[in-house]
A and B are shown apart, each in its own frame.
Chain A
């Protein structure tokens, strides 16, 4: 049986630190059943927003609601949080620590113990249950941290940069867990600067800048919106100089021999193809959707 879905609403959040406005009338919602990426440049207010969801900072104005009710201790107990600054007791045993956090979230001793075993197993660190946290590698500590956020099967999961510093295996493991949680009815909000990963994992993204909402929508909608994109690959050509002079065409990205172009509505793609063929042997010429990184740059540009 899946968890009952919920809706997280942030309405008019405002928080200032002296003269710095960290959150400026920030309003958005996070539905359950989807992995929602929370993006923004450094200092945009992501961590402050996440802390506000858990009441860890005082808000100057605004309200955070869960299923229409302003959040309070009762709701916080059913939320899971993985802060940006990882935090565990360095000298405490992994199993005990996860179990302890489960119990702080209201689990009975037996449930906390069995859920700890199950989650450590799932995150492939069951063999480290009796190790001290400080003896674990960074990646494994990150897994313990995730287990600590998940142990009580939260209705809302908020993760601040859960994928940073992980190897591909770790990213896959944690990414799968996030998607599974969302499928199970959990409301998942996570921040990351690794936009490719966010694009793979998320169905929806919310982008903020200077404490304000800039863009919010499904990845599909955002990717298919905006001007046409062309991906062109020319053998031996890596500068995209051939495209820079074309009218109504701008170079969006050049990476690993692949040139991404943004075409104005009036531009005929045949003109671009001819210019490309003049520059060398064309090995790829495809219309493409906007990448998340392009959406991001366009939004916070």
Chain B
């Protein structure tokens, strides 16, 4: 599973490179001041290379505004706190539940205590990790009375019958049911041994029989443990992709509704405005996801949870990478959709069809992650950019991919995102300035070019 590290390291390296480049650019001295009589100070500008330098700068500025706006919001802060609490609880509570010393099961034995019987009862308890106390009951009536009053959980009568107060269903997970599931066949076996006339020593010897170990040629990959982790991962990817893309949808719609977009587009190009928004909200998303993942990691380590045992850490990194890729792919789609709406109700109409592929991929992935056996279709979906963010992490969790398959899927996702960005930018710049009217599909036709000034003479149709 080390292959997961490769793309993550590459992504981090690229991120750091861009960050350093940006910082260096900021430190560069600005041009000399020019003065202006009786008016506010002139901006410091370098006329040459201005547009080139401003391109990445504008994206950065738009992104910065988005980050500040989101992070300042109370909803975001409280939301993050609540998610952290839920994640913490999800890790800690099962641990408390399993490590908590449950009261021992009281098993009554009618008649004089029988050593073999007591041993079998205690052995059964050990097998299912449930403490058991054997209580001697003088008569069956006394045992029944103790069952009714709750003093006993079960009673063995004459070595061949188990009495309980309420019927025990086969799918019950209670301690009594779990114990009886083992105790009943064991008692049957003991009874059979006694019937066959085996001596106490012989019975003990037979009772100590253990299943022979099954050894595999490949090392154990903790698949059961990762199954849980990948289910949690897919749920988080789903929640975060939906959440942050809804922000994009709303953000674009609000910019259109407030008409601020026309002022902005007079200064920056549509792709810069859109790119900055996607980047800004993406940074907030990743920051929040990294915080949650880091918190989950620390809490898991602290309480000794099984969630991140073995390759769980790598799976977590893979989940984070696919969260980034999934967000990047869908963000453009949501942005394009947002640019065609300028009212809340229009956004709601758009949100459902947009979320359908996400929802389907999510449900399918959860099903496969739980069952542990991916179909061919699922493996194909792991390479398609819209479904890969859900399907691929599951395959990673189930250890069903090699590093190069993973890499191919990542490359396809990035390529898909580039195509989607191109497509979305075209729709965006056509739709976002069409206020107060329905944006029809006809309006959205054509490539995302900005009008190129032409020097061709005007054609007068008259």
B411-462: which residues lie under 8 A (CB-CB) from chain A? 433, 435, 449-451, 453-460
B43 in contact with A77 (CB, 8 Å)? no
Given A12-B457, A14-B459, A107 contacting B259 (CB threshold 8 A): no
A4-20: which residues lie under 8 A (CB-CB) from chain B? 11-14
* A256 in contact (CB, < 8 A): no
Pair count A-B, CB < 8 A: 149
* A258 in contact (CB, < 8 A): no
B282-319: which residues lie under 8 A (CB-CB) from chain A? none
B44 in contact with A107 (CB, 8 Å)? yes
* B260 in contact (CB, < 8 A): yes
Instruction: Give every chain B residue within 8 A of A61 (Cβ-Cβ).
Output: 454, 456-459
Given A57-B433, A83-B259, A105-B267, A119 contacting B51 (CB threshold 8 A): no
B43, B265, B456, B458: the one within 8 Å of A105 (CB): B43
User: Once bound together, how far apart are the Cα atoms of A1 and B36, in whole Å?
Assistant: 5
B267 in contact with A101 (CB, 8 Å)? yes
User: Once bound together, how far apart are the Cα atoms of A215 and B454, in whole Å?
Assistant: 25
Instruction: Give every chain A residue within 8 A of B267 (Cβ-Cβ).
Output: 76-77, 101, 104-105
A114 in contact with B61 (CB, 8 Å)? no
* A285 in contact (CB, < 8 A): no
User: Once bound together, how far apart are the Cα atoms of A1 and B45, in whole Å?
Assistant: 15
A88 in contact with B264 (CB, 8 Å)? no
* Chain B nearest CB, measured from A185 CB (Å): 10
Describe A's contact surface by its main secondary structure: mixed
* Chain A nearest CB, measured from B277 CB (Å): 13
* A184 in contact (CB, < 8 A): yes
* A266 in contact (CB, < 8 A): no
* Chain B nearest CB, measured from A99 CB (Å): 10
Instruction: Give every chain A residue within 8 A of B263 (Cβ-Cβ).
Output: 81-83, 87-88, 101, 145, 148-149
* A170 in contact (CB, < 8 A): no
B48-79: which residues lie under 8 A (CB-CB) from chain A? 50-51, 53-55, 57-58, 61-62, 65, 69
Which bucket holds chain A's interface residue count?
35 or more
User: Once bound together, how far apart are the Cα atoms of A221 and B83, in whole Å?
Assistant: 71
A119 in contact with B50 (CB, 8 Å)? no
Given A25-B458, A74-B51, A77-B51, A111 contacting B41 (CB threshold 8 A): yes
User: Once bound together, how far apart are the Cα atoms of A122 and B53, in whole Å?
Assistant: 31
Instruction: Give every chain B residue within 8 A of A70 (Cβ-Cβ).
Output: 453, 455
Given A73-B269, A90-B258, A114-B41, A104 contacting B264 (CB threshold 8 A): yes
Interface flags, A58-97, vs B, CB<8A=1, else 0: 1101111100001111101101011101111110100000
User: Once bound together, how far apart are the Cα atoms of A88 and B34, in whole Å?
Assistant: 29
Instruction: Give every chain A residue within 8 A of B65 (Cβ-Cβ).
Output: 100
B38, B39, B255, B458: the one within 8 Å of A12 (CB): B458
A55 in contact with B262 (CB, 8 Å)? no
B451 in contact with A184 (CB, 8 Å)? no
B262 in contact with A111 (CB, 8 Å)? no
A108 in contact with B259 (CB, 8 Å)? no
* Chain B nearest CB, measured from A63 CB (Å): 5
User: Once bound together, how far apart are the Cα atoms of A145 and B258, in whole Å?
Assistant: 13
Given A25-B458, A102-B43, A1 contacting B262 (CB threshold 8 A): no
A51 in contact with B433 (CB, 8 Å)? yes
User: Once bound together, how far apart are the Cα atoms of A88 and B261, in whole Å?
Assistant: 8
User: Once bound together, how far apart are the Cα atoms of A51 and B40, in whole Å?
Assistant: 27
A57, A90, A101, A105: the one within 8 Å of B451 (CB): A57
* B42 in contact (CB, < 8 A): yes
User: Once bound together, how far apart are the Cα atoms of A56 and B451, in whole Å?
Assistant: 8
Instruction: Give every chain A residue within 8 A of B265 (Cβ-Cβ).
Output: 54, 56
* B224 in contact (CB, < 8 A): no
User: Once bound together, how far apart are the Cα atoms of A103 and B268, in whole Å?
Assistant: 11
With A73-B54, A76-B267, A83-B262 given, can you name 18 additional A-B contacts, CB distance below 8 Å? Answer: A14-B459, A25-B460, A51-B262, A56-B262, A58-B449, A61-B454, A61-B458, A70-B455, A73-B51, A73-B269, A79-B266, A85-B435, A88-B263, A115-B40, A145-B263, A153-B36, A153-B39, A184-B39
- Can you sample 19 A-B contacts with CB below 8 Å? A1-B37, A11-B458, A57-B433, A57-B451, A61-B458, A62-B454, A65-B453, A73-B51, A83-B262, A83-B263, A87-B262, A87-B263, A92-B69, A100-B61, A106-B45, A106-B50, A111-B43, A149-B263, A153-B39
Q: Which residues of B contact A (CB under 8 A)?
A: 30, 34-45, 50-51, 53-55, 57-58, 61-62, 65, 69, 255, 258-269, 433, 435, 449-451, 453-460
Q: Which residues of A contact B (CB under 8 A)?
A: 1-3, 11-14, 24-25, 51, 54-59, 61-65, 70-74, 76-77, 79, 81-83, 85-90, 92, 100-108, 111-112, 114-115, 118-119, 122, 145, 148-149, 151-153, 180, 184
